[in-house]
Amino acid sequence: MTTRTAQQAAQQTAQTARPAPTTPAARTTQADRPAQPAQAAQTAQAAQPAHQHGPRLPWAKLAPEVYKAMIALEVAAKKDLEPSLVELVKVRASQLNHCAFCLDMHVKDARAAGETEQRIYLLNAWEEAADFYSPKEQAALALTEAITLLTEGFVPDAVYDRAAAHFGQAELAHLIALITTINAWNRFGVSTRMAPGQA
């Protein structure tokens, strides 16, 4: 290779290694470029609200012994509790846990048990609508919120004492079991994306 040929090769290499021109069009980032089809589909799927997805898996069929145990627990938990109170607790916990399946089911059950539309509608703001609920119901709803929202800390003594003032010990034990059971149902519903209207 001659000296001139070597110089020409070096110039070509230098030109190739130079940074690309900095025109506005050349400054587009990876984020500005159109997504690849597979990437775009993934992004669109991630952005879809949960209600557009079907159920993830039929957990009750896949774990029938667990489902039967949950049914037995629910039957035992609500023993000796007023049906209207049971449904208020279930609806309130389901609101807090954002379980659409359970909300749909228990609002229907509450109506069937004779609950009024107004009390169902106001349940999400029961403290501001206290006149619509008895002191016993208010105590149960406060306990439901405290047990459901455990990320905020322990169940406060004031909340527990308020419930204990309105419920006998056995009744209170069943109420706590009921609240625990509906929270478990909610978590099955939310984690497996059970669709409302299927009950």
pLDDT, tens digit, for every residue of 160-169?
999 999 999 9
This prediction has a pTM of 0.72
pLDDT given for residue 42 in this prediction: 57
pLDDT band at 198; cut points 50, 70, 90: low
Give the model's pLDDT for residue 27. 47
- If you average pLDDT over every residue of the chain, what do you get? 82
User: For 108-145, how does the pLDDT look when each residue is reduced to its tens digit (9 = 90+)?
Assistant: 999 999 999 999 999 999 999 999 999 999 999 999 99
Per-domain residue ranges of the chain? 67-191
By CB atoms closer than 10 A (0-12, 13-18, 19+), residue 1 is exposed
Q: What is the pLDDT of residue 157?
A: 95
**Residue 18 reports pLDDT greater than 50:** no
CATH for 67-191 (3.40.50.720, 3.20.20.80, 1.20.1290.10, 3.60.70.12): 1.20.1290.10
| Percent residues over pLDDT 70 in the chain | 72
- How sure is the predictor about 13, in pLDDT bands with cuts at 50, 70 and 90? very low
pLDDT band at residue 6 under the 50/70/90 scheme = very low
